[in-house]
Amino acid sequence: MIQHTQLITIIIISFLITLILGPLAIPILQRLKVGQSIRDEGPKSHISKSGTPTMGGLIMIAAICITTLTSGHANNDLYVILFATIAFGGIGFIDDFIKVVLKRNLGLKAYQKLVGQIIIAIIIAVYQSKTSQYGTEIFVPFMKQSLDFGILYIPFIATVVVATTNSVNLTDGLDGLAAGVTLIVSLFFALAALYYGNSSATLVSGALTGACLGFLRFNVHPAKIFMGDTGSMALGGAIAAIAILTNMTLFIPIVGGIYFVEALSVILQVMSFKLTGKRIFRMSPLHHHYELKGWKEIKVVIVFWAVTLLLCIIGLFSLKV
């Protein structure tokens, strides 16, 4: 079983690997002209970001894999979480490749991404339902009991995985936003997994925490590199898989509240415009709404980080109720 000191070591190792890989990867991506394109309808302040290297998620994926696979604690659960991270990152990579290399702005079609996501999600759900000592039960926050989803477990879990992954993807719209929020959320799951004695989840969560922390060195405003869909999809897949394999799926809307409201803002915006012709927000996802209200990008990011920290503290409290 992993101890507190080992968790700290894992975080530091992943952090250092990311710091080393960053300066190596950025010039390569620049030479390959793998630059981010900025939407014309987006905030005007983002125009200057056009051409910034993207697909930086490859750095985090590499750091997570190197850290975990050389830890000496590998088992099936760890491989499943890594599978989710790499598989979702792979979908994001293909999407990024089509957009920035082949210059097709729309990337993968929505149904193509969705089909791939659902297949990966079902694999994770089936694995957990067959191997977990809790079967189809999921821990309930703030209660010392579990809820058995029975035959609804696999469709429910698959839905959560797809929703979480796409929500993290939507959150990645400002320098350091998705990486910072995920850093805090992954640290929560590292501590929660440690509390429940789940070594695999503790290990990957710690590596994810370190990778996000290291990536922020290059991704905070003004960003030298973006994670792209490669990174945001990988982060979302990792968080979802960690939550599922620790039977803490119902904690995602709490500690990942920012992911939730970012996705909800897009859904409400689309529904409102289609039904009434009016927009609820100045722009969605939500972080752009605050930008257009006059908030500086850095302020939006720090506030969203602070809210995530508060939500994760509440999540930690719910473990001991």
* Structure confidence by residue, pLDDT tens digits, 21-33: 999 999 999 888 7
pLDDT classification of 98: cutoffs 50, 70, 90: very high
In the predicted structure, residue 1 carries a pLDDT above the cut 90:
no
- Pairwise CA distance, residues 89 & 238, whole Å: 9
pLDDT classification of 133: cutoffs 50, 70, 90: confident
pLDDT classification of 233: cutoffs 50, 70, 90: very high
Per the annotation, where are the binding residues? 169, 229
In the predicted structure, residue 146 carries a pLDDT above the cut 60:
yes
State mean pLDDT over 227-254.
97
Per the annotation, where are the binding residues for Mg(2+)? 169, 229
State mean pLDDT over 124-139.
94
Q: What percent of the chain has pLDDT over 70?
A: 95
- Pairwise CA distance, residues 110 & 108, whole Å: 6
Give me the DSSP letters along 116-185: HHHHHHHHHHHHHHHH-TTTTEEE-TTSSSEEE-GGGHHHHHHHHHHHHHHHHHHHTTSTTHHHHHHHHH
* Structure confidence by residue, pLDDT tens digits, 147-188: 999 999 999 999 999 999 999 999 999 999 999 999 999 999
| pLDDT score for 38 | 60
CA angle, 188 then 192 then 193, to 5°: 115
Can you name the residues that pair with 146 across neighbouring β-strands?
139
**Can you read off the two tokens belonging to residue 147?**
């809820």
Spell out the residues 6+ positions from residue 185 whose beta carbon is closer than 8 angstroms to its own.
239, 255, 256, 308, 312
| pLDDT score for 47 | 62
Average pLDDT in the chain: 92
